[in-house]
């Protein structure tokens, strides 16, 4: 057997072991990914296939920097009480009617998830949902399930809504506007269908007469705002970031730099010590991304992903059929395991295939698959797992 073939087998074996460790939950996922990277680099040196420097070159630092900037910004914004303020106002607008509570909180969850990651969104809306449901003496589970599903759906709608979209954006070269044009419309359709299904499935629940409606109407949303001045500054910063994201193709300013600048500006405005502000940054997640990019880089270095891309391309010369295959494989895979490593593994394959077909349809199929697939099972997304644990 040729040395190249043997190195491919070893690389695939270590990659599979690494992913099993990540998905099994026996180790924290960043620790599992780091362990996998250690094994991969060791094997690379032993067989002379690649070195540590070769794998690090595959890390997309734009993704890491964008995540860092957005995590910093969202952490500071959350401290102002802005998200609770929106939730209370929506519930007051519903006048305690279960169906309107379901609808308004689902809408809020969808649109907030377009800006911040879905787990953070769930952690913000679920406690408020439970608190309000207790006051009204209604079952919070229908609303919580709707929020879990739509946090995943909403994240698909923009470039910054979900980590897989960020990864896809930098790999494909697509801009914020491209994601809005191609993915926002199907997300709106999914939102409408989800709301309609919620109305049908929970038709008895929506007819339940709530109690203590007067208490809800007397709530003062402004009480939940801890710092109105900072909140206004942060909203202005967010508006600036969105404008720059939307005009990236004209200005040439990188999305990663925009997010980093937004996070740093918010930090300066906050007057907080960096060590306090950076507590909101999920450092293990950033390490996880760096390790994943490196692991997938090993498959690229040994030519494994090229062979996989050729295998998928051989299924059909029709780009639509290939897109459907990718959509379903990515979707079903993401229904059982975290969609971030699934995306990391698929990106080089889709990149190769997109060049062969000369079409961007494959990228949108991947984004839809990994984004929506998490709704198939309760454990298919981090938001679903968090919702189950909080219910």
Please report which confidence band the pLDDT of residue 3 belongs to, taking 50, 70 and 90 as the band edges: very low
SS3 at position 258: helix
Tokens of 151: 């946090």
Q: Are residues 277 and 318 in the same domain?
A: no
pLDDT > 90: what percent of the chain? Answer: 30
The rounded distance, in Å, linking the Cα atoms of 202 and 205 is 5
The reply to whether 99 and 224 lie within a common domain is: yes
For residues 306 and 351, give the distance between their C-alpha atoms in angstroms, rounded to a whole number: 10
Over residues 198-223, the pLDDT tens digits come to 888 888 888 888 887 787 788 787 88
Query: Which among 225, 258, 228, 213 has a CA at the least distance from the CA of 67?
Result: 258
Claim to verify: residue 29 and residue 45 sit in the same structural domain: yes
List pLDDT tens digits, range 227-263: 889 999 999 999 999 999 888 888 889 989 999 999 9
- Looking at 256, 281, 306, the residue that finishes a domain is 281
> Could you tell me if 33 and 176 lie in one domain?
no
Question: How much is the pTM?
Answer: 0.80
Look up residue 332 and give its two tokens. 């079903």
| Single residue among 254, 281, 308 that ends a domain in this structure | 281
Based on the domain organization, do 236 and 117 belong to the same domain?
A: yes
Residues 246, 152: one domain?
A: yes
Same-domain status, 223 and 325: no
**In this structure, what DSSP letter does residue 337 have?**
S
Q: What is the mean pLDDT of residues 292-300?
A: 89
Average pLDDT in the chain: 86
For residue 42, name the pLDDT band (cuts at 50, 70, 90): very high
Residue 377 gets which letter from DSSP? S
User: Are residue 16 and residue 71 in the same domain, yes or no?
Assistant: no
Q: Are both 274 and 292 inside the same structural domain? A: no
Domain count, the chain: 2
> Tokens 């229908």 appear where?
142
User: Is residue 17 domain-shared with residue 118, that is, in the same domain?
Assistant: no
Q: Does pLDDT of 38 surpass 90?
A: yes
**Res 279 pLDDT > 80:** yes
245, with CB counted inside 10 A (0-12, 13-18, 19+), is buried
pLDDT of residue 13: 94
Question: Are 31 and 72 in the same domain?
Answer: no
- Whether 327 and 333 have beta carbons less than 8 Å apart is answered as no
Domain that holds residue 383: 3-58+283-387
For residue 223, how many other CB atoms are within 10 A of its CB? 11
pLDDT in tens, 318-341: 889 989 999 998 898 888 777 888
Cα distances from 286 to residues 62, 114, 371, in angstroms, run 12, 20, 20
Question: Does residue 156 share a domain with residue 39?
Answer: no
């Amino acid at each position: 057997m040729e040395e190249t073939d043997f190195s491919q087998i070893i690389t695939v074996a270590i990659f599979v072991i690494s992913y099993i460790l990540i998905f099994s939950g026996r180790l924290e996922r960043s620790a599992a990914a780091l362990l996998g990277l250690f094994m991969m680099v060791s094997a690379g040196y032993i067989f002379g296939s690649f070195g540590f420097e070769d794998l690090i070159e595959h890390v997309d630092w734009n993704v890491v920097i964008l995540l860092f900037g957005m995590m910093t910004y969202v952490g500071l914004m959350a401290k102002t009480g802005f998200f609770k303020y929106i939730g209370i106002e929506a519930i007051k607008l519903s006048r305690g009617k279960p169906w309107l509570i379901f609808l308004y909180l689902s809408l809020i969850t969808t649109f907030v998830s377009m800006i911040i990651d879905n787990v953070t969104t769930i952690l913000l809306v679920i406690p408020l949902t439970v608190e309000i449901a207790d006051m009204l003496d209604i079952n919070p589970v229908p609303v919580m399930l709707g929020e879990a599903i739509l946090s995943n759906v909403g994240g698909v709608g923009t470039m910054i809504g979900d980590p897989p979209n960020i990864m896809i954006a930098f790999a494909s070269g697509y801009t914020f506007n491209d994601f809005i044009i191609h993915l926002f419309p199907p997300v709106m359709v999914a939102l409408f269908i989800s709301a309609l299904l919620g109305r049908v499935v929970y038709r008895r629940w929506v007819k339940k007469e709530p109690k203590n409606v007067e208490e809800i109407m007397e709530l003062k949303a402004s009480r939940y705002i801890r710092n109105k001045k900072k909140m206004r500054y942060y909203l202005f910063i967010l508006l600036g970031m969105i404008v720059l994201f939307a005009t990236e193709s004209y200005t040439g300013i990188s999305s990663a730099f925009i997010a980093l600048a937004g996070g740093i500006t918010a930090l300066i405005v906050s007057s907080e010590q960096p060590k306090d502000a950076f507590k909101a940054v999920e450092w293990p997640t950033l390490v996880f991304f760096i390790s994943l990019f490196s692991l997938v880089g090993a498959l690229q270095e040994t030519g494994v992903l090229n062979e996989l891309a050729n295998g998928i391309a051989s299924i059909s010369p029709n780009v639509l059929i290939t897109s459907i295959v990718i959509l379903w494989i990515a979707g079903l895979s993401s229904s059982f395991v975290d969609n971030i490593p699934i995306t990391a593994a698929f990106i080089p394959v889709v990149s190769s295939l997109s060049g062969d077909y000369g079409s961007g349809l494959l990228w949108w199929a991947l984004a839809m698959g990994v984004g929506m697939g998490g709704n198939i099972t309760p454990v298919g997304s981090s938001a679903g797992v968090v919702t189950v644990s909080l219910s």
